[in-house]
Structure 1
Amino acid sequence: MPADEKQPIPSVWTRPRRRKREQPALSRDQIVAAALELLDTEGIEALSMRRLGTRLNAGATSMYTHVANKDELIELVVDEVHGEIEVPRLDDPAQWRTALARYAHSLRSAILRHPWMASVLGELGVTQLGPNAMRVFEGMLAVTEKAGLPTGEADPAVSGLTAYVIGMSISEAGRLTMLARSGHTEQEWVERLWPAAEEAAREHPQLQEQYAALRGKDPRRIREEKFDYGLQRVLDGLAVRIAP
């Protein structure tokens, strides 16, 4: 391969497309859809080119027209999930807070629908080259710029907000994955945990008070309230930088 055709970085988005001598048996969309279903039902550990080929009733080699390896396949699937994320329009700059909150909740929901994302989101530097990820980032830059952030602050504002959502959601997704493997509901797991947690907090009065306030509450509601509290504080920080 000539030097100018080599990949600048290893990624499905930078690899030159192979010349098609004949119509491949499988389309990229079919491969991505099957991989997403496999990941959602069985987790990241279950994904392999051979396993996916079996699921598609095709040999692994038939997929190499579209993806060179498992890493490229994950890039495609992660970008597919980005296609689920809402990018709100900001017609009224005064409603910037509502728009950013909608994006944050949409991103969180996408991660929680696909808990396996928790194990790959730390490697998103390359997958952000995908068309859906680019759409999301472009749209959110437009929202923050229209909101009135000073010049040059739209990029770090979007990155900071996204980092908060990913950080919180990864923790939630990990917990939900653990619960799925245990066979218990979240409420059942919390009830089983309470005696040990309260015993561990016997010498910590502030923790005792906190646990007492949470006892009996819906754990899903607790997670949502904690997420929204942190989100509102992030938006409070951005509000300081937005001119009236």
Structure 2
Amino acid sequence: MPADEQPIPSVWARPRREREQPALSREHIVAEAVRVLDEEGVDALSMRKLGNRLGAGATSLYRHVANKDELFELAVDEVYGELPLPEPGAAADWRETVAHVARGVRAMILRHPWIAAKLGEIGLAYLGPNVLRQTEHMLAVYESAGFPLDEADQALTTVLAFVLGVSTSEAAWLSMIARSGQSEQQWVERLWPAAERAVRDYPRLRARFEAQRDGDPTKENDASFEYGLQRVLDGLQSRLG
């Protein structure tokens, strides 16, 4: 088969197959896949395990989803459906609207830490209906605020890159703590002596560690995210003069 006739490996690039098994819908499969990912992580998901949880064989799943890569595309779009959509007229306060959605993206990643590991390797996930809907609404917000459409697209990408970068690291940290069976505060307390020894020859780092010694890690993470988000929005605001 010529290269230009090869099928594109994405669930969004082929017609949806008819349901041959009415009791087992694609929506049902995806919802259960998200539960597995939330409970056990990326490495635990397999078509066989999913089939067992659904009371069906893996072959039955393949009637609806071609492979595990497609399953991940569908799972990512499913959780994107949790994000808030801007209300009509939201451009009147575009900064707060963008900030509200950015906080929603961060919260979504922290609820579903597995998504952080998959966002960079899920093919044509940007063609999923929930991702497309979110993108269209946000482009409208930026455009109504005064950005030309091409720059609105770049602004959207810039904010999303910031949120994904910060939230991916945060999700990885929280996942590691969750595997330990301890709270974040307990983990920080255990880590502290080693951290103090590591920074004793670095006065600026030592001062920062000491300032954070008795802080609440969750509140500090929230404050750090908010600081970075507002500085990104400051930069975009300057483009509007």
Query: Structure 1 length as normaliser, TM-score?
Result: 0.93
Are residues 1:108 and 2:132 paired?
no
Q: Which has the higher helix share?
A: 2
User: Structure 2: which 5+ runs fail to align?
Assistant: none
The equivalent of 1:228 in structure 2 is 226
Partner Cα distance (1:201, 1:90) in 2: 50
The equivalent of 1:95 in structure 2 is 93
The equivalent of 2:153 in structure 1 is 155
State whether residues 179 and 186 of structure 1, in contact with CA within 8 Å, keep that contact through their aligned partners in structure 2.
yes
The aligned runs of 1:201-240 (5 Å cut-off) are 201-240=199-238
User: Structure 1: which 5+ runs fail to align?
Assistant: none
- 1:152 partner SS: helix
Are residues 1:76 and 2:80 paired?
no
The equivalent of 2:48 in structure 1 is 50
How many Å apart are 1:212 and its aligned residue?
1.0
Are residues 1:188 and 2:203 paired?
no
The equivalent of 1:13 in structure 2 is 12
Closer/same/farther in 2, CA of residues 203 and 26 from structure 1, 3 Å limit: same
Closer/same/farther in 2, CA of residues 133 and 92 from structure 1, 3 Å limit: closer
Are residues 1:144 and 2:151 paired?
no
- 1:51 partner SS: helix
Partner Cα distance (2:46, 2:79) in 1: 19
How many Å apart are 1:25 and its aligned residue?
3.9
Query: Structure 2 length as normaliser, TM-score?
Result: 0.94
Partner Cα distance (1:54, 1:92) in 2: 45
State whether residues 93 and 148 of structure 1, in contact with CA within 8 Å, keep that contact through their aligned partners in structure 2.
no
The equivalent of 1:133 in structure 2 is 131
How many Å apart are 1:76 and its aligned residue?
0.4
Partner Cα distance (1:93, 1:18) in 2: 39
Closer/same/farther in 2, CA of residues 25 and 151 from structure 1, 3 Å limit: closer
Q: Percent identity?
A: 59
State whether residues 90 and 143 of structure 1, in contact with CA within 8 Å, keep that contact through their aligned partners in structure 2.
no
* Structure 1 residues 106-149: Cα deviation after superposition (integer angstroms, max 9, x where no partner): 00000000011111011245111100000011111001001112
- 1:120 partner SS: helix
Partner Cα distance (1:148, 1:223) in 2: 31
How many Å apart are 1:18 and its aligned residue?
3.5
Q: Figure out how many residues of one structure are paired with residues of the other and give that number.
A: 241
The residue identity in structure 1 corresponding to 2:224 is K
**Once structures 1 and 2 are overlaid, which stretch shifts more, 153-162 or 90-99?**
90-99
How many Å apart are 1:26 and its aligned residue?
0.7
State whether residues 90 and 141 of structure 2, in contact with CA within 8 Å, keep that contact through their aligned partners in structure 1.
no
State whether residues 28 and 66 of structure 1, in contact with CA within 8 Å, keep that contact through their aligned partners in structure 2.
yes
Partner Cα distance (2:88, 2:169) in 1: 30
* Structure 1 residues 30-75: Cα deviation after superposition (integer angstroms, max 9, x where no partner): 1011101111001111000001011111100001121110000010
How many Å apart are 1:153 and its aligned residue?
0.4
Closer/same/farther in 2, CA of residues 90 and 18 from structure 1, 3 Å limit: closer
Partner Cα distance (1:165, 1:124) in 2: 18
